[in-house]
Amino acid sequence: MTSFDLVINNARLRGHDGPAHLGITGGKISAISKEALSGGETIDAEGALVSTSFVDGHMHLCKVYTYRSFGDATIGEYGTGTMGGAMTGIELASKIKEKYHESWIYDNAKAAALNAIKHGVLHIQAFVDTDTKARLEGIKGVMRVRDELKDVIKIEVVAFPQDGLLRDPGAEEYVQEAMKLGADVVGGIPWIEYTDAQSQEHVTRMAKLAQKHGTRLAMLNDDAGDANLRTSEMLAVAALEFGLEGKVTSCHARAMALYPEPTFRRLAALAEQAQMGFITDPHTGPLHLRALELFDMGQAVGIGHDDIEDPYYPWGRYNMLEIAFLSAHILGANTRARMENLFDMITERASRAIGATPKKITEGAVADLLVHSHDDVHEVLNHHLPPKVVISRGKVVARSTSSTEFSLGG
Query: Rounded to the nearest whole angstrom, what is the least distance from the CB of residue 307 to Zn ion in the complex?
Result: 7
Alpha-helical regions (H) of 94-153: 102-118, 137-148
> What phi and psi, each to the nearest 5 degrees, are found at residue 355?
70, 20
- Distance separating alpha carbons of residues 354 and 235, to the nearest angstrom: 14
- Distance separating alpha carbons of residues 311 and 225, to the nearest angstrom: 19
Range 287-298 burial, b when 16+ CB lie within 10 A, else e: bbbbbbebbeee
Distances, alpha carbon 372 to alpha carbons 32, 119, 179, 375, 376, in Å? 18, 10, 38, 8, 9
Distances, alpha carbon 260 to alpha carbons 124, 267, 282, 300, in Å? 32, 11, 20, 21
Nearer to Zn ion, 51 or 94 (CB): 94
Query: Rounded to the nearest whole angstrom, what is the least distance from the CB of residue 253 to Zn ion in the complex?
Result: 11
- Counting residues that bind Zn ion (by CB under 5 A) gives 1
Instruction: Return all residues near 341 (Cβ < 8 A) that are at least 6 apart.
Output: 292, 295, 333
> What phi and psi, each to the nearest 5 degrees, are found at residue 218?
-125, 125
Instruction: Return all residues near 1 (Cβ < 8 A) that are at least 6 apart.
Output: 38, 39
Query: Rounded to the nearest whole angstrom, what is the least distance from the CB of residue 215 to Zn ion in the complex?
Result: 19
Nearer to Zn ion, 23 or 89 (CB): 89
Nearer to Zn ion, 78 or 343 (CB): 78
Nearer to Zn ion, 255 or 361 (CB): 255
- Distance separating alpha carbons of residues 366 and 348, to the nearest angstrom: 14
Told to check if 163 binds Zn ion by CB under 5 A, we report: no
Nearer to Zn ion, 331 or 380 (CB): 331
Judge residue 91's burial from the number of C-beta atoms within 10 Å of its C-beta, 0-12 exposed, 13-18 middle, 19 or more buried: middle
Q: What residues from 286 to 315 belong to the interface with Zn ion (CB under 5 A)? A: 306
Nearer to Zn ion, 306 or 348 (CB): 306
Query: Rounded to the nearest whole angstrom, what is the least distance from the CB of residue 77 to Zn ion in the complex?
Result: 15
Nearer to Zn ion, 307 or 368 (CB): 307
First to last CA, the chain: 52
Nearer to Zn ion, 290 or 372 (CB): 290
CA dihedral sign, ordered 253, 162, 67, 322: positive
Query: Rounded to the nearest whole angstrom, what is the least distance from the CB of residue 101 to Zn ion in the complex?
Result: 22
Instruction: Return all residues near 340 (Cβ < 8 A) that are at least 6 apart.
Output: 14, 377
Kindly write out the interface string for residues 248-287 of this chain, putting x where it contacts Zn ion by CB under 5 A and - elsewhere: ----------------------------------------
- Distance separating alpha carbons of residues 160 and 139, to the nearest angstrom: 9
Query: Rounded to the nearest whole angstrom, what is the least distance from the CB of residue 252 to Zn ion in the complex?
Result: 6
Nearer to Zn ion, 65 or 242 (CB): 65
325 touches 385 (CB < 8 A): no
- Distance separating alpha carbons of residues 375 and 46, to the nearest angstrom: 9
Closest residue by beta carbon to Zn ion? 306
Nearer to Zn ion, 52 or 94 (CB): 94
Which amino acid does the sequence have at 6?
A: L
Strands 277-280 vs 121-129: parallel, antiparallel or unpaired: unpaired
Query: Rounded to the nearest whole angstrom, what is the least distance from the CB of residue 127 to Zn ion in the complex?
Result: 6
Query: Rounded to the nearest whole angstrom, what is the least distance from the CB of residue 340 to Zn ion in the complex?
Result: 26
- Distance separating alpha carbons of residues 293 and 333, to the nearest angstrom: 12
Query: Rounded to the nearest whole angstrom, what is the least distance from the CB of residue 349 to Zn ion in the complex?
Result: 18
Binding site for Zn ion (CB under 5 A): 306
